[in-house]
Structure 1
Amino acid sequence: MGQEQYIPTQQTQGGKFYLDPELNLYVKEVGQKLAAVSDRPDLPYEFVVLNNGVPNAWALPGGKIAINRGLLTELESEAQLAAVLSHEIVHAAAGHSQQQMQNQALISLGVGLAGFALSDNEWAGVIMGGATMGAQLIMARYSQGDELESDAYGMRYMARAGYDPSAAVELQEIFVRLSEGRESGFLQGLFASHPPSRKRVEENRLLAKELGTGGRTGRDTYQQKLSYLRKLQPAYEAEAEAARLASEGNFDQALGKINEAIAIEDEEAAFYALRGQIREAMGNTRQAAEDFDQATSLYPEMFSYQLYQGLNALKQNNLTLAKRSLTRANEVVPTSIAFLRLGDVALKQGNREEAARHYATAAKSEGEIAEEARQKLAQLTS
C-alpha cells in the first residue's frame, strides 16, 4: 500500500523540494543509517524532503517516509532530525497509520479546488481513486500509545546508530512550543496526527537517562546542510504571505509579494504556479499561461502544475495542450476537475463517447464538480 501511495501523497503535500539535492541526500543518509539498526531493516525504506512550509513529517506503511522543509527549519541538529526519522520509521514499520485509519471515522475535509489553500489539505475532496488513500493515512491521528511506542523504539534506534537520545526530548519540547498559540489550520499538519504532550516529554526524558547521553548531536553539520534552505526562507515567507493575501482577494498585493519571492529564487516552480493562479484570478489568462508554462518546465512531474496549465489552456481554447496537460496530471494524481474538463475537451473535439467516459468518472466524486459532471453526462445520453 505504501509504495503505491508514496508519489501521489508527496504531490498532494507540495511535491519534492528539488532545489537542494544535497539536502535530500543528507536526510536519506540519516534515515537509512537509522533504518539499518531498526527492528525491520529489511523494508524498502525511502526518505524525501517535501516543498511544504508546514512543520510536518509522515510515514506510509512499508517504510515510505517524508519530512517537510517547514519542519527541517525548526530543528537544530542532526540528532533531532534522527529523532523525527526514527519515530517515523517505527510508524512505517508497524503500520500505525493504517491501523488508526481503520479505527476511526475518516474526517470529510471538504475543501474544493479553490486555489490559495493554506492548509495541508488543498486537494481534499478533489483527488480521486487510490490517491485518496495516502491522504487519509497521513491524516490518521495516532493514539497516545502509538506515539509513546514510536518514541521509545525510535530513541533506541538513535542510540544504536550513535546519536544522543536526549535529542528526542529536545524534539518533543520543540513540538510542544510549536503547538502552543498556533491557529487551528496550522494544527492540521504534524500535531493533528502526532499530538504533542508534556507526558511525552517526561517519558522521553526518563528513557534518555536509561539509554545514556553523550552520542552524536551533529549541530554544526546540520546547520551547514540547512544553509541553502535557510537562505531561501525569506522567499518562502513571501510566498506564504502572497497565498494569504490572494485567499482574501487582495490580488494586487499578492502579486507584489510573489514577485518578491521570484526575485530571490527564480528556479522555484511553486512561485510561478502561485503567480499564475493570482494572475488567473485577476483575469490575466495569457500572463497566467506563461507562469504555468514556466512551472511545468521547472518541475514537469508535478501534477498540480500540469493541472493548472491544462485548465488555463482550455480557457484559451487550446484543446491540444489542455488534453495533454490534464491527462499528464491524472497520470500522477487523478482529480475530478481534470476528468470533468477532459470531458469538455473531448466534447469540443466532437468525441461524445470519450466525453461521456470522462464525465462518468468525474461524476463518481462529490460536490459541485460531480454535480456538473452528472448534468453534462445526462445531456449527452438523453
Structure 2
Amino acid sequence: MVRFFILISVFLISCASSTSSSFTLLPERKEIEIGQSYIPVAIEEFDGLYTQEEVQNYLSQLGTTLTKHTYRKLPYRFYLVNSEQVNAFALPGGPVFITRGLLLELENESQLASVLGHELGHINARHHARFLEKMVALNILLGIGSALISDKPYGQVLIQFGQIGAQLLALKFSRDQEREADKLGIEFTLKAGYDPNGLIEVFHIFKRLEKNRPPEWLSTHPLPETRIRENTEIINSLSLFKELIKDSEDFQRVKRLVLSTKPSFDEFSKGKKLYKEGRKDLAYRHFLRSVELWEKNYQAMVYISLILLEDGRLNESFEYARKAYAIVPNVFSTNYAMGLVQFRRRDYKDSIKHLEEARRLIPDNPDVYYYLGRNWEALGYRQRALEYYKTAIELSGGTRPWEGDARERLKRL
C-alpha cells in the first residue's frame, strides 16, 4: 500500500473554526425544519425529481462520501432535479440540489464532487441561516413550522412562507461567502479523496457556457477572474501526495443514463413553453412525444392530464394522473393532479386526500385551498369550505380565474 500524506493549509483550519464559533440566532433544529419545508417547493420550481433510482442513489452516495468530512452533522440529502438550467443550490440545514442541465455539462466525477462540496460549504458556513437571521423576523422563523402543520390555514403566515422561499431559491451570495464556500468545498472534496482541481474545471466550463447562454448558477454565485486565480493558488499550495480520484465508471454510466433521456426533456421543455403561452393543443403534442420517448417523465403526464381535463376528457385525464402518481407519489404535482381529477369525478373524499397531501408539501398554493373548499362544500361541510375559500382568495392576489366564483361562494355560505 502506497503511503501518502496530505498537508492542508492553515486557511482551511481557520475557515472551519469560523463556521462553528459564530453566535447564532436561529437554532439548528429550526434551520433544519425550514430547509426541509422548502424541499417540495424546490422540486416543483425545477421541473420535478429525476425518477431513475440508480441516478438518485449514485448522487446520494457521492454526497454522503463528502458529508463524512463536514463540520456540521446535519440530515444532508441530495437531489437531481429535471430542469435544463445549469445550476446547483442548497437549502438551510442540509438539502442539496443539482440540475439535470448541469450534470450533463460536467465531464468527470471530481467536478461533480466539487459542485456538491461547494454547496456543502455554504451550508456549513451557515450562509442561508445568516440570511434568514438578517432578513426575516426571528418570531416568524420560530413560528413558521408550527403554523404550517396546523389544521387551520393561516393566510399571512403562508404568504410569508412563499416570500421567504422565493428569496431562498434565488439567494445571491457575496464574494466573501463564495470564497468561504470554495475553501470549505476544497477541504471536503480533498478529504473525501477527490481531486480539488475539479472545482477549477467547473469554473472554466461556466466561463465557456457564458459566451452563449450564461449558466443560471452565475446569477447567484459571482465568478470573477480573481476567484478562479485565488482558488488555483490555494490548490497549488497544497502538498498532495495521494493519488486522488478524478473520475469513475459510475459517473460516466449515470451521465449516459441521464443523456439518454434528454430527448424526452427537450420535448417537455417545448411543451411547457407553449403551455405557458396558452397554445395548449401544440403543447399537448410535445408532452405526448415526451412520454413516448421516456415512459417515466411524470411531469409531462401531469400536464397531459390537466390539458385533457380542460377538454372534458375525464377518463383519459384520470389515467395520466394515475400513471404520474404511481411513478412519484410523494411530490406536489402528482397529488394536485390526482386531487383535481378526482374532484371532477366527484370522488370528493379521495380528492381531499390528495389535495391535503399537496397542501402539506406546498402549503401556500391558492388553487389547492380553492378546490379543498369545493370538495368540503360538496360534502356539506360549510364552515370548513368557508375557511378554505377565504385562504384561497387571500393567497391568490387576484391572479386566479376562479377567484370570482370563490367570492360568490363565500357570500352564499
Residue 302 (structure 2) pairs with residue 273 (structure 1): yes
Deviations 1:258-292 (A, max 9, x none): 22221122133222112223334555444323211
| Contact kept? 2:42, 2:169, Cα under 8 Å | no
> Are 1:165 and 1:211, in contact at CA under 8 Å, matched by a contact in 2?
no
Paired position in structure 2 for 1:34 = 66
Equivalent in the alignment of 2:22: none
Do 1:82 and 1:158's aligned partners in 2 also have CA atoms closer than 8 Å?
Answer: yes
How far apart are residue 129 of structure 1 and its match? Answer: 6.5
Choose the corresponding residue for 1:159, options 190, 210, 225. Answer: 190
CA–CA separation in structure 2 for the residues paired with 1:281 and 1:180: 42
1:312-331 to 2 correspondences below 5 Å: 312-331=341-360
Q: How far apart, in 2, do the equivalents of 1:150 and 1:210 lie? A: 18
Return the alpha-carbon distance in structure 2 between the equivalents of residues 75 and 322 of structure 1: 42
1:146/1:233 Cα in 2 relative to 1: closer, same or farther (>3 Å)?
same
* 2:207 is equivalent to residue 207 of structure 1: no
Matched, 1:347 2:377: yes
Query: Matches of 1:9 and 1:245 in 2, distance apart?
Result: 23
Partner of 1:218: 247
**2:199 corresponding residue in structure 1:** 168
Which amino acid is 1:295 matched to? A
What residue in structure 2 maps to residue 91 of structure 1?
122
**Partner letter of residue 68 of structure 2?**
A
CA positional deviation for 1:103: 4.8
Match for residue 16 of structure 1?
Answer: 49
- Paired residue type of 1:225: V
Selected match of 1:261 from 272, 287, 290 = 290
- Distance across 2 between alignment mates of 1:212 and 1:24: 34
Which residue in the other structure is 2:17 paired with?
none
Partners of 2:211 and 2:255 in 1: CA distance: 25
- The equivalences for 1:95-134 within 5 A come to 95-101=126-132, 103=134, 130=161, 133-134=164-165
CA RMSD of aligned residues (A): 3.0
Contact 1:246 1:278 in 2 (8 A): no
For residue 299 of structure 1, the aligned residue among 317, 323, 328 is 328
Q: Is the 8 A contact 1:77 1:220 kept in 2?
A: no
Match of 1:356 among 362, 367, 386: 386
Task: Return the alpha-carbon distance in structure 1 between the equivalents of residues 380 and 296 of structure 2.
Answer: 39
User: How do 1:235-246 and structure 2 match up within 5 A?
Assistant: 235-246=264-275
Q: TM-score, normalised by structure 2?
A: 0.77
Which is further off, 229-238 or 7-16? 7-16
> Secondary structure of 1:76's match?
coil
Secondary structure (helix, strand or coil) at the match of 2:355 reads helix
Equivalent-residue separation in structure 1 for 2:49 and 2:90 (angstroms): 15
The answer to whether residue 173 in structure 2 is matched with residue 146 in structure 1 is no
Displacement of 1:352 in angstroms is 1.0
CA distance in structure 2 between the partners assigned to 1:2 and 1:137 by the alignment: 14
How many residue pairs get aligned? The number is 357
Counterpart-to-counterpart distance in 1, 2:392 and 2:260: 42
Name structure 1 gaps, 5 residues minimum. Answer: 106-124
| Matches of 1:133 and 1:223, distance apart in 2 | 37
- What corresponds to 2:139 in structure 1? none
How far apart are 1:380 and its partner, in Å? 4.6
Partner of 1:375: 407
Any conservation in 2 of the 1:30–1:82 contact (CA below 8 Å)?
yes
Q: 1:194 aligns with which of 202, 210, 221?
A: 221
SS at match of 1:73: helix
**Larger Rg, first or second structure (1 or 2):** 2
Instruction: Give every structure 1 segment of 4 or more consecutive aligned residues whose post-TM-superposition deviation is greater than 6 Å.
Output: none
Q: Match for residue 108 of structure 1? A: none
Give the equivalent residue in structure 2 for 1:249. 278
Alignment correspondent of 1:110: none
CA-to-aligned-CA distance 1:221-254 (integer Å, 9 cap, x gap): 4212222111111111111112122223333332
**SS at structure 2 position matched to 1:226:** helix
Aligned to 1:119: none
Tell me: CA distance 1:364–1:2, structure 2 relative to 1, closer, same or farther (3 Å).
farther
Q: By how many angstroms is 1:130 displaced?
A: 4.5
Alpha carbons of structure 1 residues 142 and 293: separation in structure 2 relative to 1, 3 Å: same
Task: Give ranges in structure 2 of 5+ residues lacking alignment.
Answer: 1-30, 137-155
* Matched-pair contact (CA < 8 Å) for 2:125–2:180: no
Matching residue within 59, 72, 80 for 1:49 = 80
Normalising to structure 1: TM-score of the pair?
0.82
| 1:61 corresponding residue in structure 2 | 92
When residues 2 and 53 of structure 1 are mapped into structure 2, their CA distance, relative to the original with a 3 A threshold, is farther
